[in-house]
Each structure stands twice: as structure tokens, then as C-alpha cells.
Structure 1
Amino acid sequence: MIYSEKEKTIETNRLLLRLFNETDAPEVTKLCNNYNLYKNTLYLPYPYSIEDALSWMKNHLDHFNENKSYEFAITDKVTGKLLGAIALTNNQRFNHGEMAYWIGQEYWGNGYATEAAKGILQFAFVEKNYNKVFARYFNSNSASGKVIEKICMKKEGILKEHVIKENKYIDLVYYGILKNEYDLLN
């Protein structure tokens, strides 16, 4: 992983994680206006409009510069194609953050989320010196759980019927990894 503070990018083997810009809005809209993506995400609206995309992106740079959160577009390093998004919050009070991501359905099963998540973990622990990174997913979304397990996060618990999605209570599964655990693996 190569982090460029100046460019605000993270480079992995196949991917370039970069800030979103307004020209990404049509592709973000196309990828996010997908029921299968919506049903596995906590905050994504559906249907998803270009206004949703622009509203979501408008504060990314400010939040990045203020060290509040880091929202990256997941792109193919060679073609520049937008594949999805990955974010890391920064809870400065507790020196930890939550990682969250989505990949457009047409790109599922290619390991992009896992590769981007590995890059974000390194960014969190090496560049930002976090003590912990956690992630959560719907119990029904086993693919997201596999990504989290592949990056060596450990299950910390299940919050039973913690959120409502489509008028149903859903369990949230929490995973986490500490800096010292990460350091032992790398």
C-alpha cells in the first residue's frame, strides 16, 4: 500500500483509492441505484438519484481535511473505472474508527472490497495511528462478513434486532481489530 498525503490517495496492487469528485456522480448513481446493494447497506437510499450522490460527496474533502472521516472512491488503477467506495471514520476521542464499504454489483466477487479494506487498515494504523478499527454488517450479508474475516478482524458480538430495514428488525454483527493485533500480522 502506498499512501500519498498530497494527493489523498491510497494505491494497492490493483486499485487506486481516491477522493470522489462531482464527475463521479453519474457512475455513483448508476452503481447505487440497485436494490441488491440497498438491502445490504444501512444508510443508502433507494431509489438513488444523482442528487443523492452529489449531496453525499459534497463534504468529503472538508471531512478529510478536518480528520473527521475519509471517503475514498475505489477505482481500477489501470482504467480508472469506479468500482465502489470505502470509508473510515475518525473518532478522535477514542482513537478508533469504523470502516464501511460498498462495491457495485457488477464487480462483486473479484476481491476488490478485501483489497481496499486491507489498504484502509494500513492507512488507519500506519498513517493515522488508530488503536482500533471496527466494522459492522447485516447478519444476512455473509459476503461482507467474509471480507471482514479475510482482513483478520475478529468477531466481537451481535447486536440483536438493532436496526430496522424495510420494516424488519435486523441484527448487526460487529468485528474489530486492534493496532497491536494488526502489527503482529504485518
Structure 2
Amino acid sequence: MQYNHTNNTMTTKRLHLRLFQTSDAPAATKLCNNYNLFKHTLHLPYPYSIEDALTWIARQLENFNADKSYEFAMTNKETGELVGAIALTNNQRFQHGEIAYWVGEEYWGLGYATEAAQAIIQFAFNEKQYHKVFARCFSSNPASGRVLQKLGMEKEGLLKDHVRKEGRFKDLVYYGLINPAH
């Protein structure tokens, strides 16, 4: 993975990671307005509207430029089609960040989350010089846990009944990875 500082992009074997644009809102809405995706995410609203997408996209450049978070559209390198999103938060005080991602249901099981997350980890360690990256997922989402394990992340803990979603308390599993250069 090579990070392009001029365009704020990354390219992997099959993906082009770039900043979201307003023109991505219809595709993001189509992918995110899906109950099966919603039930596996912490912050995604459902139903998901075009206004939700536009509001989310509008915040991203400001957050990127302020070094608060870095959100990238996961797009198919050959077709340009949006397949998902990956983000990295920045906690400068502790030199770490959280990875979060979603992939449209029609693209599940194709390895896109793992491929994009490998790139964002390299970005975190090589470009941002983080000491650690971490991620969390619901215990009811073992597919996401497998993605994190493939990245070399270690399970660091389970927070029981940590968040409330759809009227029920859910467990969160935390995973982490220390920068091997530190």
C-alpha cells in the first residue's frame, strides 16, 4: 500500500481508498439502508436516508484536515463502485486510533474489509506514527472478529452488556495491535 499525500488516497490489490465526495451519497445510502448492516454497527442509523449520507460526508473533510479522523470510501479499483467505508480515529494524546468499517452486504465475504483494514493499519503506523490501533465489534458479529484476527490483532477483552442496541444490551469485543516498529 502506498499513501498518496497529494490526493489522500491509498491503493491495494483490488481497492482504491479515497475521501468521500458528495456524489457518493446515493451509493452510500443504498448500501447503508440495510437492516443486516445496521445490526452489526455501533453508530449507523436505520433507516438510512440520503440526508444521513450527506451530513456524514460533509463532516469528513473537516475531520480529516483537523486530524480528528480519516474516513475513506472503499471503491473497486477497476470499476470505481463504492463497496464500503473504513475510518481511523486519531487520539494524539495516547498515540492510538480506532479502526471502524462497514461493507455493503452484497460484498460480504469477499475480503474487502480485511484488505482495506490492512491499508489503514499501514497508514496509522507509517504515516501517523501511532503506537497502537484498536477495533471493537459486537460478540454477535463473528465475521468482523475474524477480519480483526486476520489483521494480526489480539483479542484484548470483552465488555459485557456494554452498549444498548434495539432495546437490548450487547457485548463488545476489543481487539488491538501494537506498532511493531515501536
Rounded Cα–Cα distance in structure 1 between residues aligned with 2:8 and 2:61: 9
> What is the SS of the residue equivalent to 1:109?
coil
The one-letter amino acid paired with 2:64 is F
Rounded Cα–Cα distance in structure 1 between residues aligned with 2:144 and 2:13: 21
Query: Quick one: percent identity of the two aligned structures?
Result: 64
Rounded Cα–Cα distance in structure 1 between residues aligned with 2:141 and 2:109: 14
Residue 168 in 1 paired to residue 160 in 2?
Answer: no
The corresponding residue for 1:10 is 10
Rounded Cα–Cα distance in structure 1 between residues aligned with 2:21 and 2:172: 31
Rounded Cα–Cα distance in structure 1 between residues aligned with 2:108 and 2:13: 18
The corresponding residue for 1:47 is 47
The one-letter amino acid paired with 1:174 is Y
Please provide the CA RMSD for this pair. 0.9
The corresponding residue for 1:25 is 25
Rounded Cα–Cα distance in structure 1 between residues aligned with 2:65 and 2:53: 20
The corresponding residue for 2:71 is 71
1:106-160: CA deviations, max 9, x gaps? 0001000000000000000001100000000000000000000000000000011
> What is the SS of the residue equivalent to 2:130?
coil
> What is the SS of the residue equivalent to 2:162?
strand
Return the offset for 1:62: 1.2
The corresponding residue for 2:36 is 36
Return the offset for 1:99: 0.1
> What is the SS of the residue equivalent to 1:175?
strand
Rounded Cα–Cα distance in structure 1 between residues aligned with 2:55 and 2:10: 24
Residue 136 in 1 paired to residue 136 in 2?
Answer: yes
> What is the SS of the residue equivalent to 1:73?
strand
The corresponding residue for 1:96 is 96
Rounded Cα–Cα distance in structure 1 between residues aligned with 2:14 and 2:42: 27
TM-score with structure 1 setting the length: 0.96
Rounded Cα–Cα distance in structure 2 between residues aligned with 1:2 and 1:75: 16
- The 5 A counterparts of 1:143-154 are 143-154=143-154
The one-letter amino acid paired with 1:173 is V
Rounded Cα–Cα distance in structure 1 between residues aligned with 2:151 and 2:47: 31
- 4+ aligned runs moved over 4 Å, structure 1: none
Unaligned residue ranges in structure 2 (runs of 5+): none
Give the number of equivalent residue pairs: 182
Return the offset for 1:4: 0.4
> What is the SS of the residue equivalent to 1:129?
coil
The one-letter amino acid paired with 2:37 is L
The one-letter amino acid paired with 2:122 is Q
